[in-house]
Amino acid sequence: MPHAPVTAGEKPEIPTPVPSRRGKNKLTWIISAIMAVAVVLGGLLYFVPSNKDVAVPELIGISLDEAAARLERERLRPGMVRHMPSERPTGTVIEQDPPPGSQLPPEPETVMVRIPDVSGREVKEAVSMLKDAGLNVEPRMEREETSRVEAGTVLKQSLRPGSRVRPDEAITLVFAVLPRDREAAGEIVLPDFTGWPVLRVEAFLKDRGLVLGPVHEKASSEQPAGTVIGQHPPAKTRMEKGGAVLLLVAVSAGEGAVLPAPEQMWPEDGRSFDNYPRTTALRWKEVSGAASYTVELDCLNCCESGKWCSELGRPWKVACGISAARSRGYKFEFAGAQPGRWRVWAVDKDEREGEKSPWRTFRYTR
């Protein structure tokens, strides 16, 4: 079959196949003039069942859109569309295969879904409307910060309302969330506490129903002693009442160095356990100058699905006052068959907390 000439130095684009549900290679393909925008029409057409073959229409010389419409009338659809250099007008069909007059069986009937308009609806209602319409895939969700509408309202949808698509067609919904610096009812948005005196932070938290968690100290020559140089959760985190905020506070170098983080010994990072009951023993090396140790335990999915409890500002468990003279370890019962993590820090005789060790993760399989 003749092809249009290719200009020197130019390469025709590689064809992009459109999968056929029947797995046949007899569906029509079209070559359009270079610079045309290829539109994949296969997912937008439906087929009327018939026992008779369908004649492939003449498509050469007409626009790509017109060719797609002509195929639709004949209960066919494009199987592949590619671009090639040509002197013909942009977007014109210059070649087709099979040739006009060829006989092809129409594909079986596909039940189509008419997409409803869900913009302005609450997300849960929008998902229900899509399912009621016959769409059998879960929508992909994207967030957009705005205060123009109520949080949870659908702002956009990727499929045009009224369009007819296959039941397994993917759809994306964009829904509204409050800007991170705006508080919703019952929520507190944390400010940046950097530079605040500890007493001011404590008063702020108490006034809003939050709790001041462990306060760690770090020698600093850049920040005044007694002021905050770090916090967890970070600024702009949304918290519910009762959540705890951990602070890192500056101390002057003259007040003595902060105790180093203990070296964790057991379990090694990423350890998997299958014992039940889920009794877990932690061990670490001694820190010179430590009077006691504090262990923080965290749990994935215990406080909220897909999140660590500490990410929500409420550690799963904190064990304080572990005597340095009698023990350099800690034993506890874990929550369930899921991931956990732990870290430890030393406390001196003046109750000054040292540096925290890094998180070490573990997992129970039953």
Residues 168 and 191 occupy one common structural domain: no
3 occurs within a structural domain: no
- Is residue 273 located within the same domain as residue 348? yes
| Same-domain pairing of 128 and 86 | no
Residue range of the domain that includes 142: 113-177
Instruction: Retrieve residue 122's tokens.
Output: 């609450």
Q: Please indicate, yes or no, if residue 6 is contained in any of the structural domains.
A: no
**Pair 44, 87 in one domain:** yes
Distance CA 297, CA 315 (A): 7
Q: Are residues 98 and 154 in the same domain?
A: no
Domain-located, residue 315 = yes
Closest CA to 312 of 330, 327, 298: 298
Residue 2 lies in a domain: no
Task: For residue 152, tell me if it sits in a domain.
Answer: yes
DSSP tag of 12: P
**What CA–CA distances, in Å, run from 299 to 76, 117, 233, 275, 276?**
55, 41, 16, 17, 17
Residues 353, 292 share a domain: yes
Do both 60 and 97 map to the same domain?
yes
The DSSP-derived string for 79-136 is: SEEEEE--SSPTTBEEEEESPTT-EEPPPPP---EEPP--TTSBHHHHHHHHHHHT--
360 and 268 part of one domain = yes
Question: Does the reported pTM lie above 0.75?
Answer: no
Residues 358 and 300 in one domain: yes
- Is the same domain home to 94 and 48? yes
CATH of the domain at 197: 3.30.10.20
pLDDT tens by residue, the chain, 366 residues: 444 444 444 444 444 444 333 333 334 455 545 433 333 333 333 334 455 788 889 999 999 888 888 887 887 877 777 888 888 888 899 889 888 988 887 666 667 889 999 999 998 899 999 999 998 888 889 988 887 888 789 999 999 998 888 888 889 999 888 776 555 556 788 899 999 998 899 889 988 888 888 888 777 777 888 899 999 889 888 888 888 898 988 876 555 557 889 999 999 999 999 999 999 999 999 998 899 999 999 999 888 888 888 887 777 899 999 999 888 899 999 999 999 999 999 988 877 888 889 999 999 998
Residue 245 belongs to some domain of the structure? yes
Domain boundary among 177, 196, 222: 177
- Domain count across the chain: 4
325 and 242 assigned to the same domain: no
Return the amino acid letter for 109.
E
Is residue 249 in a domain? yes
